[in-house]
Amino acid sequence: MRITIYFFAVLLFVACGKKVAPPEPSEKEQNEKEQKNVVSTRTVVDPKNRQDTVFLGYILGQKTKSITKQLIKNGDLLSKRIERRTFTLSMGGFAQNIIAKGYPLDLYIGDKKYDALLSLYDTNGDLIEDDGMLMSLRIYIPGGALERADIITELKKQYGKPNTPPQGGYKVDVPQEVNAFWNISNKAVYLESFSGFMVLIYEDIIAVRNKNKAETAAKDSEKAKNRERSKKTHL
């Protein structure tokens, strides 16, 4: 009896002292870990973890000409030249026509094809007609509520649950018309909808912030100069 107890104690000591490798994570656990890593890039604008690739392979903060040229060659963009289209913008009971400029393209979402227009903007907020450093990319898409729902569904598949625009000097284009917004590190993706069309926007949050801050500083400087000049012209 004593021998049996002693032998069991030796086995227990050996088992306790031996390092056992942790079990391999299951596929579910691995997917959850990867999802957490993806989520960690959302809502946090991190210049060290830039997410710059956007629609059709354009890259935020880089020159556009070579990509545009290749897309035209491949037939992804349907014209070599910038075209103009008129859209009716309805807001607050008022309507007005706006002119958008860009490259026409066939945009396929799910089982539908849209006659869309692609516009590129540089770090000054100006339309890129030849080449420039990309800050914002906009896709004008005809359609209403049904089309909007389809597009948002597809965007959720790509970017997950929508979140909210970050603070600190960044503003979306038309806040009251934003249907869904995603913040993926420095990259913003959001959809605006109007009466008969939508605008899908990809842009660099950091570049937009820098532009807004520069414009605000310039305005403040001009106001300060005007205040000094006004001292000489009392009414």
- pLDDT number for residue 9: 40
- pLDDT number for residue 42: 57
Question: pLDDT band for position 36 (50/70/90)?
Answer: very low
Mean pLDDT along residues 133-147: 95
- pLDDT number for residue 167: 85
Residue 190 bridge partners (DSSP): 181, 201
Residue 152 has pLDDT above 70, yes or no: yes
Mean pLDDT, the chain, as a whole number? Answer: 84
Per-residue pLDDT tens for 1-27? 444 434 334 333 333 444 445 566 665
Cα distances from 170 to residues 195, 203, 207, 208, 212, in angstroms, run 26, 11, 9, 6, 7
- Cut 0.75: pTM above it: yes
Residue 100 has pLDDT above 80, yes or no: yes
- pLDDT number for residue 23: 61
Domain ranges of the chain: 46-230
